[in-house]
Amino acid sequence: MELAANLVIEAELVHKKSLPREFANHLMIWANGLRGKFEKLIYPILREDPAFSQIRSSIDKVWRRVNKQRNSVAHSGAFKKRKTAFAAINDAHFVITQLVSPYDSSFNIEKLDKTDRDLAAKRKNGRNANYAETRR
């Protein structure tokens, strides 16, 4: 999601407002993290954009929920149940799609289906098998 936020910020500041890329990069570093990029950059930059108003209302709680899950894993080492992980992945998919689509009409990432048996088979036959082999 943070990469999608960066794309929006760059599109707005560099491409639409013709600000120097170095300045946009500095602002993204200053904003520091997903919350900062939304609250300090994206929301203020797009405050007057009526199309973004609808997107904002649909993604605000969702990105905050995913960010909370992400931070608990990244900063506290928490583990998530499969159901929680898939929910976060699908929420992130929604946010990313909503953010990037207005800037790139051909943008498409496949949604992960939590009932996808192929994923379970790949996991069983892939990484877990390799891990078991190295532990012998």
Digitized pLDDT (tens) for each residue of the chain, 136 residues in all: 999 999 999 999 999 999 999 999 999 999 999 999 999 999 999 999 999 999 999 999 999 999 999 889 878 888 888 888 889 999 999 999 999 999 999 999 888 775 555 555 566 665 544 444 433 3
CB count in 10 Å sphere of residue 106: 5
Domain coverage including residue 50: 2-135
Q: What type of residue sits at position 70?
A: R
Q: If you write DSSP's letter for every residue of the chain in order, what string do you get?
A: -HHHHHHHHHIIIIIIS---HHHHHHHHHHH-SHHHIIIIIIHHHTTT-HHHHHHHHHHHHHHHHHHHHHHHHHHH-----HHHHHHHHHHHHHHHHHHHTTT-TT---PPPPTT-HHHHHHHHHTHHHHHHHHH-
pLDDT of residue 102: 95
- Cα–chain-centroid distance for residue 44? 19
pLDDT of residue 81: 83
Q: What type of residue sits at position 107?
A: F
pLDDT of residue 114: 59
Please tell me the pTM assigned to this model: 0.79
d(CA 38, CA 88): 18
Q: What type of residue sits at position 64?
A: R
Query: Quick one: which of 98, 90, 85 has its CA closest to 38?
Result: 98
pLDDT of residue 91: 94
pLDDT of residue 84: 87
The number of folded domains in the chain is 1
